[in-house]
Structure 1
Amino acid sequence: MSENNREITLRFLAEPADVNFGGKVHGGAVMKWIDLAAYACGAQWSGKYCITAYAGGIRFVKPIRVGNMIEVVAKILYTGKTSMHIGIEVNAGDPKYSKKELKTHCLVIMVAADDDGHPSDVPEWKPETPKDIKLRESAITLMEMRKEIYKEMTAFIE
């Protein structure tokens, strides 16, 4: 699989329909953009339909204003047998200028599906640079932490 298929950037303007009661872009709109970018990245990498299995660690750093140019960057950080851990950054700024600021970031796990909706194997991504190796290691650490959190959360669902 080509390294070029590992990352995707969606760009668009924040619209008035995206505004919340406080006059900024609604968090739900941002979460939708995150899901769209994660799907596009996962589908591009795997060549298959993908299903969101997890979205977590969503950190809203700064508000986004209506009219801002939005850039949602999605990048494969780790691949399992059927899953892809995708790091997401949402950057935004005045469209008249090239400078964008980090507004939101998170991790999304997408699972590739076959035509019957069953999990399907994905190509393995192998990091080569020190930065990519660190990103992969962080994704693995977060995976282990999620398992522990899930064990604790089962007390709330039983």
Structure 2
Amino acid sequence: MSSPQRDITLRFLAEPQDVNFGGKVHGGAVMKWIDLAAYACSAGWSSRYCVTVYAGGIRFVSPIHVGNLVEVSAKIIYTGKSSMHIAIEVNACDPKSLNRRLTTHCIVIMVAVDESGQPVQVPTWIPKTDEDKEQHATAIKLMEMRKKIGEEMQIFV
């Protein structure tokens, strides 16, 4: 039996239809790519259809230009019963130079579901390296922070 796939990188060229009025790739296109990578990563880990339940901490660090080679890397950093917390990093470069630069990063939480849309259990990810353990601990801290933010946000519901 093969082990689940923990990470994935999607690569493609930024196209003219991805550009905003300022001549750079717009944030909505980047967020779509992030969601696609998170889905591919979570489906690879769980062997199930997965849905996005949270995307947060999205930080746009530098712009992406038309013609840039874009890499969207996704990796599992925490698993719950049915959820998978995925760290996303977006890098871009001129394909002639291959000098990658960070453009965006965030956390996405996906949930594996069955045919009727009900959450189903996913394999447990166990951190092994020091970096994995640090990211796992950070995911737990972020969960606690999101609970507090969620409580505060109830005023808007």
> TM-score of the superposition, structure 2-length normalised?
0.97
Does residue 2 of structure 1 match 2:16? no
Where structure 2 has 5 or more consecutive residues not aligned to the other structure, the ranges are none
User: 2: distance between equivalents of 1:144 and 1:62?
Assistant: 29
What corresponds to 1:81 in structure 2? Answer: 81
RMSD: 0.9
Aligned partner of residue 134 in structure 1, secondary structure: helix
What corresponds to 1:60 in structure 2? Answer: 60
User: 2: distance between equivalents of 1:143 and 1:78?
Assistant: 10
Moved over 3 A (4+): none
User: 2: distance between equivalents of 1:154 and 1:66?
Assistant: 40
Letter in 2 for 1:42: S
Aligned partner of residue 70 in structure 2, secondary structure: strand
Following superposition, the deviation at residue 115 of structure 1 comes to 1.3
What corresponds to 2:91 in structure 1? Answer: 91
Does residue 102 of structure 1 match 2:126? no
Residues 1-158 of structure 1: pairs in structure 2 closer than 5 A: 2=3, 5-157=5-157
Aligned partner of residue 72 in structure 1, secondary structure: strand
Letter in 1 for 2:11: R
Identity between Structure 1 and Structure 2 (%):
67
User: 1: distance between equivalents of 2:126 and 2:108?
Assistant: 18
